Amino acid sequence: VSLTRALTEFSGGRGYLAACTTGLPTLSARAAMIEDLDASVSGHPDPAGYAAAVERSRAHFARLVNTTPGRVAIGSQTSVSVSLVAAALPEGSEVLVPLDDFSSVVLPFVHAGRGLCVRSVPLARLADEVGPDTALVAFSVVQSATGEVADIAAITRAARARGARTMCDATQAAGWLPLEASDFDVLICHTYKWLCCPRGICFTVVSPEFAPAIPSLCAGWYAGEDPWESCYGVDVTLAGDARRFDVSPAWQAFVGAEPALAMFAALDIAEVHMHDTGLAHRFREGMGLCDGSGPCGTGLGGRRAGVDVTCSAAPALPSAIVTWDDPDGCDLARLTAAGITASGRAGRARVAFHLFNDDEDVALALHALDRRG
């Protein structure tokens, strides 16, 4: 699928700069969901059809991150998947995480009740901070609050050298940043943002090396080898592959997810990356946001957790999300008043550029903020 063809799947992207909050549904997803709803209303819900949509969705996601469907589990929330990973770690293990990463990524370790030691360091220091006692490095590939992109190669190299496992959350990355599931022991991705799915579908990809350590803590009927034969009693045989980590699917959500995931799996994500980060770059230029070459005063820079950090508005790696200091929310209010959908997180204004946006959206946002445009 070409980017141009994919664009015809969206009709409401003008002024919508919030894929980092929630994506826009594709027109094919809308049609499929309405058709499904109509069938149910008329007395013909289709559980077998839902199960087929789940398996096709699993396969599309596998293709998107270059793995096999047998390594992909389905779930509904990030934190539930993360809690499985927490349960796989020895009691008292150290988990290294970025400072202020998204709570669903880090809280399951804090509250695992197994004495895990969660150590937070600035994202830029994550690779350097992997120590001999680190059992797991857990991080979002792209930070929700700042849009910063993790240096995957450096982090996974450092973890491998120290014998630590890696878990990434790709929720803010998959759909615009090319990803290889085999780079990580675990990759978790909620699909309602950049993959434009209905909310309620979170995939977990587990490596064959780490999978045996993970307990099927949330097993229900869908974790069985044959879900429909696994509905009763304690003697259920769990699936031999990653499906043993499945929880039962949010059926209607998968009806809409399937066409969206098919589209993203068939897209050249490198092309989407160029499109999205190109728009973000032109917005940054128009805003006069710093280029990262020196210290600056845009909010998150300075000394945090005893370590010097540079301004996070300056991406070391190109990002589709641009954030800047907006402590009183004035810039977000200006964008909103101009009819632009943006967001504010942790005292920062946040805009996101995705495939349904173009240069006119950049110009509209800059104009609303009284910058060039």
Ligand X SMILES: Cc1ncc(COP(=O)(O)O)c(C=O)c1O
Task: Identify residues 95-114 at the interface with ligand X (CB under 6 A).
Answer: 102, 104-105
334 binds ligand X, rule: CB under 6 A = no
Segment interacting with ligand X (CB under 6 A) among 63-71, 169-177, 218-226, 354-362: 169-177
Identify the residue among 78, 312, 323, 343 touching ligand X (CB under 6 A): 78
185 binds ligand X, rule: CB under 6 A = no
Token digits of residue 329: 């929310």
Segment interacting with ligand X (CB under 6 A) among 38-46, 73-81, 109-117, 222-230: 73-81
79 binds ligand X, rule: CB under 6 A = yes
DSSP 363: H
Nearer to ligand X, 152 or 368 (CB): 152
**Mind giving me the DSSP string for 1-69?**
--HHHHHTT-S--TTB--TTT-PPPPHHHHHHHHHHHHHHHTT---HHHHHHHHHHHHHHHHHHTT--G
Identify the residue among 71, 190, 244, 348 touching ligand X (CB under 6 A): 190
**Mind giving me the DSSP string for 243-297?**
GGG-----HHHHHHHHHHHHHHHHS-HHHHHHHHHHHHHHHHHHHT---SSS---
Identify the residue among 57, 67, 144, 343 touching ligand X (CB under 6 A): 144
Residue 122 belongs to what H/E stretch?
none
120 binds ligand X, rule: CB under 6 A = no
Identify the residue among 169, 185, 246, 325 touching ligand X (CB under 6 A): 169
247 binds ligand X, rule: CB under 6 A = no
Nearer to ligand X, 174 or 262 (CB): 174
CB of 78 to ligand X, least distance (A): 3
Segment interacting with ligand X (CB under 6 A) among 114-122, 166-174, 178-186, 356-364: 166-174
171 binds ligand X, rule: CB under 6 A = yes
140 binds ligand X, rule: CB under 6 A = yes
Which residues have a Cβ under 8 Å from the Cβ of 14 and sit 6 or more positions away? Answer: 360, 361, 364
# residues near ligand X by CB under 6 A? 13
User: Could you give the C-alpha distances from 62 to 43, 81, 254, 328, in angstroms and in order?
Assistant: 33, 17, 15, 42
CB of 76 to ligand X, least distance (A): 8
Identify the residue among 24, 202, 253, 349 touching ligand X (CB under 6 A): 202
CB of 352 to ligand X, least distance (A): 11
* 109 three-class SS: helix
Token digits of residue 99: 């400072």
Nearer to ligand X, 280 or 364 (CB): 280
Segment interacting with ligand X (CB under 6 A) among 31-39, 71-79, 214-222, 246-254: 71-79
324 binds ligand X, rule: CB under 6 A = no
CB of 101 closer than 8 Å to CB of 124 = no
| Short-list 23, 4, 345, CA closest to 174 | 23
**Mind giving me the DSSP string for 146-213?**
T-PBP-HHHHHHHHHHHT-EEEEE-TTTTTTS---GGGSSEEEEE-SSTT-PPSS-EEEEE-TTTGGG
Nearer to ligand X, 13 or 200 (CB): 200
Identify the residue among 83, 146, 156, 172 touching ligand X (CB under 6 A): 172
Q: What angle do CA 254, 260, 262 make, to 5 degrees?
A: 95
Q: Token match 């003697």: residue? A: 235
Token digits of residue 195: 């993959």
Main-chain dihedrals φ then ψ at residue 290, nearest 5 degrees: -65, 160
Question: Which residue ranges make up the site for ligand X (CB under 6 A)?
Answer: 77-79, 102, 104-105, 140, 144, 169, 171-172, 190, 202
